Structure 1
Amino acid sequence: MRLLLGLANAIDALSEGVGRVIAWLTLLVALLSAGNALMRYGFSYSSNAYLEAQWYMFSLIFLLGGAYALKKNAHVRIDLVYGRLSKRAQAWIDLLGTLLFLIPMALGVLYLAWPWAVNSFLTRELSPDAGGLPRWPIKLALLVGFALLALQGFSELIKRIAFLTGVYPLEQEGGE
């Protein structure tokens, strides 16, 4: 179990690192958004590349931020019942939800998106809009985002099993 908890800690560190990058990306997309609006309405200048860069960054925030949100326990859930349960019952719900829903969904998206993203990469797909950006990087980001989510799900699964077996106290985790 110690080896698996070490793996969970490494995955957690990866999610934390990606989360820090996403925080800066959020600032960057806000600045780019403001710059796009200023250029469009102040100087009557618009660029498809700037607009698509804004969309891509916004997409990256959600695609890559999912694992970080899961690690910080900041994901959406209905807490009316969950919040009133014991830590042990919460751990069971998390374990079953991760096993039955989260990991199969993330792996399913990876399976279905793989040929689509790889084809986009191999053909070096470009935006159909004049002056637009390449499309293949954002399609590959879909794979990276769901791979990170699956990894973080695996980390959470390890920690819940360790908690339920009395090896790991969940109270020590950040964000819980």
Structure 2
Amino acid sequence: MASLVAIAWLFCRQLLPLSRAIDKLGEWLGVIASWLVLLACLVSAINATVRYLISYSSNAWLELQWYMFAGMVLLGAAYTLKVNEHVRVDLIYGAISDRARHWIDLLGGAIFLTPMCLVMIWFTWPWFVQAWTLNESSSNAGGLIRWPVILLLPVGFALILLQGFSEMIKRAAALRGFHQHEYAYEKPLQ
């Protein structure tokens, strides 16, 4: 993990274009996640309307909503990290300098975020491969195949890992004076 911090620190100026490319991917994923919110609401409304008007329902519609929710969370998480809106414990973070925040974010990304994402990818990839190989389907009547939503797990954590690397590059560059952080920390309104 220390090697990630060292790489980000030593090569931050050269890695800023890579960080911008990763950020563009994160923005695109944020748009997809936003559209999934709307689509899930529409599917839910249509499903409820059809169920009450003509007494027809299908588990596929309910599972489709579940799939879209998984997409919202797992694709939107990278964007949330990019715009600095992720959940954090704000006991001292709001009372310290920007420089100290950059150090916390840089080290937190290397020590906590990176290993957590790698562990989640490690454990969810075989689960996806098994579901894909077996063409696993829902046990509910009329249910959907499961491997697409299971694939969202390793892909989502890989995207968070990628965005985390971008954030570490930007924090290291900010510490060295090469970058002005676009999304400043905002203290909670509580």
Give the alignment's TM-score, normalised by structure 2. Answer: 0.87
Corresponding position of 1:79: 90
Q: 1:174 deviation in Å?
A: 4.3
Tell me the amino acid that sits aligned with residue 114 of structure 1: W
How do 1:94-105 and structure 2 match up within 5 A? 94-105=105-116
CA contact (8 A) 1:48 1:131 kept: yes
- Listed as ranges, the gaps of 5+ residues in structure 1 are none
CA contact (8 A) 2:13 2:173 kept: no
Name the CA distance, whole Å, in 2 between partners of 1:37 and 1:146.
Answer: 33
Name the CA distance, whole Å, in 1 between partners of 2:117 and 2:106.
Answer: 15
Corresponding position of 1:135: 146
Q: Deviations over 1:95-133 (max 9, x none)?
A: 111111111101110011111111111221111111110
Corresponding position of 2:58: 47
Q: Deviations over 1:45-87 (max 9, x none)?
A: 2101101001100111001110000001111113342122111
Corresponding position of 1:145: 156
Name the CA distance, whole Å, in 1 between partners of 2:126 and 2:179.
Answer: 39
CA contact (8 A) 2:135 2:147 kept: yes
Q: 1:175 deviation in Å?
A: 6.4
Please state if 1:154 is matched with 2:172. Answer: no
Name the CA distance, whole Å, in 2 between partners of 1:175 and 1:164.
Answer: 14
Corresponding position of 2:79: 68
Residue-pair matches, total: 174
Q: Which moved more, 1:102-111 or 1:76-85?
A: 76-85
Q: Which residue, 38, 63, 68 being the options, matches 1:57?
A: 68
Q: Which moved more, 1:148-157 or 1:76-85?
A: 76-85
- Listed as ranges, the gaps of 5+ residues in structure 2 are 1-11, 186-190
Q: 1:22 deviation in Å?
A: 1.1
Please state if 1:33 is matched with 2:44. Answer: yes
Q: Pairwise CA RMSD of aligned residues?
A: 1.3
Tell me the amino acid that sits aligned with residue 33 of structure 2: I
Give the alignment's TM-score, normalised by structure 1. Answer: 0.94
Tell me the amino acid that sits aligned with residue 135 of structure 1: R
Give the match's secondary structure for 1:119.
Answer: helix
Name the CA distance, whole Å, in 2 between partners of 1:52 and 1:175.
Answer: 38
Name the CA distance, whole Å, in 2 between partners of 1:125 and 1:21.
Answer: 25
